[in-house]
Each structure stands twice: as structure tokens, then as C-alpha cells.
Structure 1
Amino acid sequence: MSARLMTKTAAVAALCLLALPAMAHPGHGESVGFLAGFAHPFTGIDHLLAMLGVGIWGGQQRRGLGQSATFLGMMLLGALAGMVGLTVPGLETGIAATVALVGLAIALALALPNWLGMGLVGLFALAHGNAHGQELPAASATCGFMLASAILLAAGRFTGQVLAERMLRVAGVALTAAGVVLMGIA
């Protein structure tokens, strides 16, 4: 498959994903248990792409699990803040920006010092966690979205380790484009 065809295929796939409704955000009032929390990262395109992207970037760098662990820990802190009513201004736009930024990091094969990469991922996670905590304030839902997030991060990490560099860069471009579109509709 040529690079041009792969780029077109990735762009079409990203646009198809954007056509999905952002079901992770509205109307969780009636169902906030473990299953609602577990489904949340899979049903919100912004959360899904960001967590896969963070995993891919970590796998691409071939370092330890520091970025994934940082993401999970900081997401939990952000969720706790959201549960007690602390909100982040411009949260939806910020979450969409995390998708674009992690896509850019993948596309450029950005290799930051470990502490800086973990700091950046930690900031991304605070935003995602804050949104989760506001929308799903039950402890059981928190357990659900933490488990789902760990699964997505691991899947992304595996992908980042096994895909050819050219495919990773195409995926990064697609994530960046998706993030920019999401920022436009946030």
C-alpha cells in the first residue's frame, strides 16, 4: 500500500470516527455505575482517541510505562477534583486539543525527556479526568473509567510498539486532524 493511499485511508477513517455521536457527555444522570464508567471512554470519541494516542506515543518511544501510569494517576486526581465541583475553563476545547497535540507528537515521533513527556501527559489526563469526574461522580463509575482507560492505554501502547514508523506517523496525522476538527465543534 502506497504512503498516499495510507494517508487517504487514515483521513477517511478519522472522518468516519468523527461522525459518531459524542455519547460520552450528555445524560449520565440516570446511570452512573461501574458499567457507565467503563463505557464512557469507549463512547466519547475525544476520550477514546486521546487515550489511544497517549498509549501509541508511549509505545513509539519504547520507554517504560511511566507515561501510562502518569496518565492514570493524574486522571484520577482530575476526576476527584471534578467530583467535588472544581471545573476547568474551556474543558471540552482542552480535551480536543489533547487529541491534536498527542497526534502531533506521534506524527513527529517526538522524543521528549521522560520527565517532560510525563508532565505533558499528566496535564492531558487532568483534563480528561476532570470531565469524567463531573459527568460520572460515583466511585463505582470511577473504577469503571479507570479500568477502561488502562485498557485503551495498553492497546495504544501495543500499537505504538508493533506498527511501522510510517504507519505511526500517518496515525499521528489522522489524530491531529481529528483533534483540530473536535476543537472546532467543542
Structure 2
Amino acid sequence: MKKSLAIALCLLALPAAAHQGHDAVAGFAAGFAHPFGGIDHLLAMLGVGVWSRQQGRAMLLPAFVLMMALGAVAQVGVPVEAGLAASVLLVGALVAAAARVPAALAVAMVAGFALLHGQAHGRELIGAASAAGFLAASALLLAAGYAAGGTRAARAAGAAIAAGGVFLLAAMA
């Protein structure tokens, strides 16, 4: 528990938004680094991975990546920052409660989270190489969360993720 709390506090010290890769020559490496530089993306993807494991639904992981790619391409001009923070809070609460929901609802929730995160990545990164990088890194984070979802500390990590969501929402006010 102390270790999870220490990790969560370190993560909260990271910048609240991802910053790498904002030019046309950013490439794969900048895209790959991008999700690790923004606490909202990092916590959401780890949280979705953990929750997918708790649900026993590995299919949520490729659904997230696919919908995130769609969100990056289908820019609709809606503000997403509050939605990103809310998605972190919600997925953290779901993990902390080890909440089980019907498969269709789980897919819909994960798809919504992914669309928001895809919108943010699509606005911040330019080019196919950057997109391939952020999708690969996102898949890695989702898989890491899925692997950690089978541990006894998963629910405590969920509480830390939810606290990160509260922090992000408070920082916007």
C-alpha cells in the first residue's frame, strides 16, 4: 500500500498535459513518448488496463486502441480536458470498487474514454509516424495495467488513480 501511494504521488508530480511531438517532424519516438508525459493519459490507460483485467474482458484493450485512433482522426472540435480528467476519476473509481458491469456498458465506457484521449492526442501530434508511436505506447500502458490488474494492490491503485482524477479536475478550476 505504501509503495502504491508513493508511486501515485510521484505520478501526480508529472505535468498535467502531454507535451512531446507538437511538430510535423516529431515521428514515432515523440509519439511513443507522448502518453508517458501526460498524467491524464498515463493514469487513464493504466486504469483501463487494470479494470479490463478485473472485468475479465481483455477485449477492452484493443477496443480502446481502436477507438483512440478513431478519436485522433475524427477531430470534432469539442473541449476535451475536463473529459480527460473525468475519465481518470471514473476509471479509478471503477478499479477501486472492482465494479463489474455488463459487457456492452464496459465497451461503451471504454470507447468514450478512448475517443476523448484520441481527440487530445490527435490535436497534439502530427503525422502517421507520431500516431503509430502513441498507439504503440498506449497499447503498452494498457497491457501493463492489465498485468497489474491481477494483484491485490489493484484496488488501492484504483483509489490513487481516482485521486489523480480529482487532482486534475481541481487544477482546472
Aligned equivalents of 1:95, 1:22: Cα separation in 2: 11
Find out whether 1:174 has 2:173 as its counterpart.
no
Unmatched runs of 5 consecutive residues or more in structure 1: 1-5
Q: CA deviation at 1:26?
A: 6.9
Aligned counterpart, 1:185: 171
State the Cα deviation string for residues 39-84 of structure 1 (Å, max 9, x = none). 1011111101100100000011223x221111111101100023xx
Aligned counterpart, 2:48: 54
State how many pairs are aligned: 172
Find out whether 1:73 has 2:73 as its counterpart.
no
User: In the alignment, residue 95 of structure 1 is paired with which amino acid?
Assistant: L
TM-score, length-scaled by structure 2: 0.92
Q: Which runs of 4+ in 1 moved over 6 A?
A: none
From 113, 123, 147, give the equivalent of 1:124: 113
TM-score, length-scaled by structure 1: 0.86
Is this contact kept in 1: 2:21–2:126, CA < 8 A?
no
Is this contact kept in 2: 1:81–1:87, CA < 8 A?
no
Aligned equivalents of 1:43, 1:26: Cα separation in 2: 7
Aligned equivalents of 2:9, 2:77: Cα separation in 1: 30
Rg larger in 1 or in 2? Answer: 1
User: In the alignment, residue 162 of structure 2 is paired with which amino acid?
Assistant: T
Is this contact kept in 2: 1:55–1:152, CA < 8 A?
yes
Is this contact kept in 2: 1:34–1:140, CA < 8 A?
yes
Aligned equivalents of 2:81, 2:98: Cα separation in 1: 26
Aligned equivalents of 2:20, 2:77: Cα separation in 1: 17
Q: Secondary structure at the match of 1:111?
A: coil
Unmatched runs of 5 consecutive residues or more in structure 2: none
From 128, 149, 152, give the equivalent of 1:160: 149
Q: Secondary structure at the match of 2:169?
A: helix
From 86, 104, 119, give the equivalent of 2:93: 104
From 33, 36, 53, give the equivalent of 1:39: 33
Aligned equivalents of 1:148, 1:174: Cα separation in 2: 22
Find out whether 1:88 has 2:74 as its counterpart.
no
